[in-house]
Amino acid sequence: MKLPVSDSRSYAAFFRFRELGEHVVVTSLEGEWVVLRRDEFSAFANGKVEPGSDLDVRLQARNLVREHFDVRRAAETMARRRRFVHGGPNLHLVVVTLRCNETCVYCHASRADLDAVHTDMTPEIADATVDMILRTTSPHVTIEFQGGEPLVAFPIVERIVERAVEKNRSAGKQLEFTMVSNLALMDEDKLRWLLGHRVQICTSIDGAKSLHDKQRVLPMASSWDTATKWIARINAAYAEAGLDPTLYHVEALLTTTRETLSRWREVVDTYVELGCRALFLRPVDPFGFAEKTRRVVEYPRAEYLAFYRHALDYIIEKNRAGVEILERYAAIFLTKILTGDDPNFLDIRSPGGAGIGQLAYNFDGKVFSSDEGRMLAAAGDPTFLLGDVRSSSYREIVGHPTIRAMAIASNLDGQPDCIDCTYVPYCGTQPEHNHKTLGTMMGRMRESSMCAVHKGIQDILFEKLATADNETLEILRRWTTIRPREHFLQP
């Protein structure tokens, strides 16, 4: 059914709308929102709202009434949502080696076998990488070690951390380190060093042991046993150091493959049992080796969204039973929807974070817009290559024409489908994903699998905001609370 919106000029301020069952979601340019019944929406859109009625008061409170439109409030809200724009790259992904001891069915990281020592970063490149990172204009810097498996090239991790801390004495950034590791090569010495240098440790868990071991193959051993043994050990070490276990614990990353879709309950239970406080239900993405195994791991996004809905409901059920665990997609969108802030998640913001919010540094000194850009280059497509830490200046990297094109391509206000979309104030697109899946950085959102996921998740969340009971709404609100983990900041 087409809803009547013929004569909104007299009453409504600018709005977009989307029908959701018995309700209609209405958003403004700057991201104020309200969910209306259909009869309420009809009155709103046709200028038939009784002055002083409850509906009139609700709409005015959301700055959706033309006559009472508060321009300053709208401008301030918009500025608050976009305050990341002038910051500069804050996330710096460093691939210290391509070597990896595990073989994963969906491996994104363009891995190399353990004897490929030529894919280790050299000390010279490591030093130049640190120097480039600390030239960022961003006052916040997170250096994230990736691979391959970073523990394979641990001396390079140590060198980068020590040099960055030393150089930061004059640079004065708020500096943090994160390492994403499968933990199979962890030992007590490495752990002591990482804890002593306040390096946050993250790992990957794909669900229960049977699924995890099948998807993440560790020769002659169980990748699950090693990962979970070290998760418990690291969590115990945080507790021994007197850190609050609700804030300081190992977080894990899930990659949702076709086999995960029917196992949503098991996935949630596993994360709860491991003591994780967050679960990111990420769909498999099209980069790196995953392309070759697409037929095995991929699935239609409608099936993913059914999985997401089941898993989210179950996570909420767990919260209602007293377990505190959140879903990250929901937390990101709800923070934007409910607080008016932007959590600066680089893949879901407008303009997107590639190049202007993050950079990726390869073992060979090459600099890319993001890790996805690096993976595309490893597969033979250098579109997102920006320069080299040894020969390029910082200005050449961040002012690269590719970065400018990406900022324009990921500005949703210039996206033909997004400008009419109700969810545009909260959404984001990724030029690398568009380029890979649709052959153009701009993309065509109606054909984009990423758009389908973002739209579907926001539909589910707005449905909940419209119909959930108070206890569920309180849980969703709690997920928007950001509690900084200051221990990981370098002193």
- Tokens 């300081």 map to which residue? 248
Nearer to ligand SF4 by Cβ, of 203 and 448: the residue is 448
Nearer to ligand SF4 by Cβ, of 141 and 424: the residue is 424
Nearest C-alpha neighbor of 149 from the set 233, 218, 72: 218
Q: How far apart are CA 264 and CA 309, in angstroms?
A: 10
Residue 90 DSSP label: -
The Cβ-side half-sphere exposure at 265, using a 13 Å CA radius, reads 2
Nearest distance, CB of residue 446 and ligand SF4, angstroms: 7
Nearest distance, CB of residue 144 and ligand SF4, angstroms: 25
What phi and psi values does residue 490 have, to the nearest 5 degrees? -70, 135
Q: How far apart are CA 295 and CA 287, in angstroms?
A: 14
Nearer to ligand SF4 by Cβ, of 166 and 413: the residue is 413
* Alpha-carbon distances of 4 from 7, 40, 465, rounded to whole Å: 8, 12, 24
- Tokens 């490495």 map to which residue? 190
Nearest distance, CB of residue 451 and ligand SF4, angstroms: 3
Nearer to ligand SF4 by Cβ, of 141 and 451: the residue is 451
> Three-state SS for 46?
coil
- Tokens 């608050």 map to which residue? 80
Residue 54: how many CB atoms within 10 A of its CB?
Answer: 10
Nearest distance, CB of residue 370 and ligand SF4, angstroms: 17
Nearer to ligand SF4 by Cβ, of 260 and 430: the residue is 430
Nearest distance, CB of residue 291 and ligand SF4, angstroms: 22
Nearer to ligand SF4 by Cβ, of 26 and 412: the residue is 412
Q: How many residues does the chain have?
A: 491
Across 86-173, the runs of DSSP E, i.e. the strands, are 91-95, 103-104, 140-146
Q: How far apart are CA 293 and CA 284, in angstroms?
A: 11
Q: How far apart are CA 370 and CA 136, in angstroms?
A: 15
**Tokens at residue 366, please?**
């090459």
Nearer to ligand SF4 by Cβ, of 39 and 420: the residue is 420
Nearest distance, CB of residue 320 and ligand SF4, angstroms: 29
* Binding region for ligand SF4 (CB under 6 A): 412, 415, 417-418, 421, 423-424, 427, 429, 445, 451, 454-455
Q: How far apart are CA 87 and CA 262, in angstroms?
A: 41
Nearer to ligand SF4 by Cβ, of 192 and 446: the residue is 446
- 302 contacts 309 by C-beta, under 8 angstroms: no
Nearer to ligand SF4 by Cβ, of 173 and 301: the residue is 301
Nearer to ligand SF4 by Cβ, of 207 and 353: the residue is 353
Nearest distance, CB of residue 443 and ligand SF4, angstroms: 8
Nearest distance, CB of residue 81 and ligand SF4, angstroms: 14
* Alpha-carbon distances of 37 from 40, 53, 337, 472, rounded to whole Å: 5, 15, 19, 20
Nearer to ligand SF4 by Cβ, of 276 and 453: the residue is 453
Nearest distance, CB of residue 413 and ligand SF4, angstroms: 10
- 84 contacts 70 by C-beta, under 8 angstroms: no
> Three-state SS for 8?
coil
Q: Is 417 exposed, middle or buried (0-12, 13-18, 19+ CB in 10 A)?
A: middle
- The DSSP bridge pattern shows strands 33-37 and 23-27 to be antiparallel
Nearer to ligand SF4 by Cβ, of 248 and 462: the residue is 462
Nearest distance, CB of residue 453 and ligand SF4, angstroms: 9
Spacing of C-alpha 353 from chain mean position: 10
Nearest C-alpha neighbor of 245 from the set 203, 202, 277: 277
Nearest distance, CB of residue 424 and ligand SF4, angstroms: 4
Nearest C-alpha neighbor of 365 from the set 70, 111, 94: 94
DSSP H or E run through 378: helix 371-378
Nearer to ligand SF4 by Cβ, of 318 and 454: the residue is 454
Across 220-291, the runs of DSSP E, i.e. the strands, are 251-253, 278-279
